Every structure is written in C-alpha cells, then in structure tokens.
Amino acid sequence: MVISTTTFLKDVIIFLRNDLRTNITDSLGRTDGIGFVMTSYPQREVKYPLITVVGRGMDTRKLGMQSETQLATLRVEIRIWARNIEEKDDLTQKVINRIRQNEFGASSLSAEEIYGNLLLSAADVDEVGKGQPKSKILEYEFKIILSG
C-alpha cells in the first residue's frame, strides 16, 4: 500500500488497521480480522475483544517559504476494547509493541513514508459493573510529508 498525498488521511488509517489485523492475534479466532480491528466505532452488537483505529485530527506546516511541500501531523486514536482488564492490558501491550517494532523495514511505517510515531497518551475508560467492557485509548501522532 502506498500513502497518497491526495488520500493520506484514509490511507494512514487503513494501513494501521490492516497491519494490526495481520499481526495481532484475535483470541476469538476470527481469521479474517473483520470484526476484530475496525476503522469506526461499531454501530451493531459486537463480540469483544476488538480494536478501533480512528483519525483524531491533523495539522500541517509548510517546509519552505515558496514550497508546496508540507509536513502533516496526524493524530490517531487506537482503542482496545476487551472483556476484562487482563485482556485489555495484554492487547494494549501487543498493539504498542507492534507499532514500536514496525517502524523500519519492508511493509513498515517508514516504507509507507509514515514517520515519527509518538505515543502521546494511554488512558483507561472502563465501564462500571461486572461484565461491562473495559477499554484503553492510545493516542498516537504520525508524520507524513505531502509534496506536489
């Protein structure tokens, strides 16, 4: 997959979704990853665990006075939804490790020209009560160079 300067917002989210689908094991055994890693909050009944990858904004900065090239900073929320705290913590660690270890090499963030991944925050958002979903919100920042 190549990140295009005309569709970079969607492309970055889809790349992250596909990478997590391929490299994080679903404890429910959903082999295609659909229903496990998604790019929006589910509007239907779901089976936990699941992971959502959602864009949370961006800003750009010119890379020269008379240049059309810009540095775009994208904020991405990766949210882990689980059945219990142990499952939430385990999946959170796997997601953090995958993004950290996939910065360089073939099919990596840098191969897609996504740079400077930075974990800005990790916050728990647990529903109160027995059997209620537990979740952790990871807020990441990624940079890409837009030219042309």
Q: Domains of the chain, with CATH numbers? A: 8-146 (3.30.2000.30)
Residue 102 has pLDDT above 80, yes or no: yes
Range 125-142 average pLDDT: 89
Cα gap 50→14, rounded to integer Å: 16
Average pLDDT over residues 44-60: 91
Is the pLDDT score of 99 beyond 90? Answer: yes
Using DSSP, state whether 90 is helix, strand or coil: helix
Angle ∠(15,107,1) on CA atoms, nearest 5: 45
Cβ neighbours for 32, distance < 8 A, ≥ 6 positions apart: 21
How many C-beta atoms lie closer than 10 Å to residue 100's C-beta? 10
- Judged against a pLDDT cut of 80, whether residue 17 lies above it is answered with yes
Residue 33 pLDDT > 80:
no
CB atoms within 10 A of CB 59: 10
Written as six digits, the tokens of 51 are 């992971």
CB-based contact 87:135 (threshold 8 Å)? no
